[in-house]
A and B are shown apart, each in its own frame.
Chain A
Amino acid sequence: MQTWSLILGMAAITFAIRYSLFAWPNLSFPPVVRQGLHYVPTAVLTAIVVPGMLMPDGQNLQLTLDNAYLLAGLGAILIAALTRHLLATILGGLVLFFLLRWALGQLPI
């Protein structure tokens, strides 16, 4: 029961945030805000990606050559810059990632 309350709480919070500005159709933003919104995807997603690559365990900086998240991430950035193709980036990045993990003996097989 407690878990269900938690799930409903998470659902309510998430929906409230996502609906926050859709709920006010008459609101229009000043130019500086509209300008800022152009940088939303770049800033938000980079803020998720960079720690994911450099701190895969969430705590310690891992600037080492056995960090597959970092190496495959750099590979994915290269693929994305060269091809500008999303699916190629995802699949290429994943193949590179698992090859590296396998070569580094980091897969549980």
Chain B
Amino acid sequence: MKPYIRKALRSPQFLLFFTLAAALILIPVCAPWIAPNDPIENDYENLMLLHSEKYPLGTDQIGRCILSRLIWGGRTSLLIVFVVIVIAAAAGIFLGILSGYCGGWIDMLITRFTDIAVAVPETVFVIALVSVLGSSLGHTILAMSLVGWTEYCRVTRALVLSLKQNAYVEEARLGGMNEVQIIFRMILPNVIPYLLVNIAQDVGAKLLTLSGLSLLGLASQPPTPEWGYMLSEGRRFIQSDPHLIIYPGMTIVLNVIVFNLLGDSLRDILDPRFTRKRREWRKLKQWQSIE
């Protein structure tokens, strides 16, 4: 682990995005101390304010502080997204490894099951589930996790299928490892870095899905602040007061970008070959430019 940390500290790209991502997580976590106003308090004398001393990013149509709502909203949005990803990734990786490594009828069963799960449209499934079980954050998380694992499962399976062909798996077998040890020592460490990129990108994707669900009123209940729901509320005033949707929209985009790039730089660090390849590639580019 040590060389990775050393490498991480030496990569400016990683440090930048790590700081940004940490900030994006910490700001909502520290919301009670940071937010300038109560996110659900209405100030009926200052509706649709663009900017003021008290409200840096203005107020919405019922006089709530937009900045405070963005800060508090991150709690809801990021919490849901992280919980969903942890559940979905864990389930997907487990099933993917089982499927790819064991092969045979287990593989066929899991693959068919994944195909079925992929065929179910996410939004429709969530609507159906939430309308049966009732609208709540827990049910949204459940519904999103139930459809979110498929991508992890497929990617993991594909990776495992190619990784288990490697001679180092056979060498590990000769080295006295049993199948479970091979999975944990040889397969999993080589799968995770590739999945980190998926996970980071998934933060963005899930944020967007969640925003979409909130837009339909399926995720958070008003007046709980949530980015997607803020978009949905501000949508009606896009002509007259675009700042109502610009700020939450930008927040979502910023989160998506930061987590994507964090994933990219993480992969650079965790794959020992990757940096070398890039260094060689850069050298090659230099040569080409000289010629």
**Chain A bound to chain B:** no
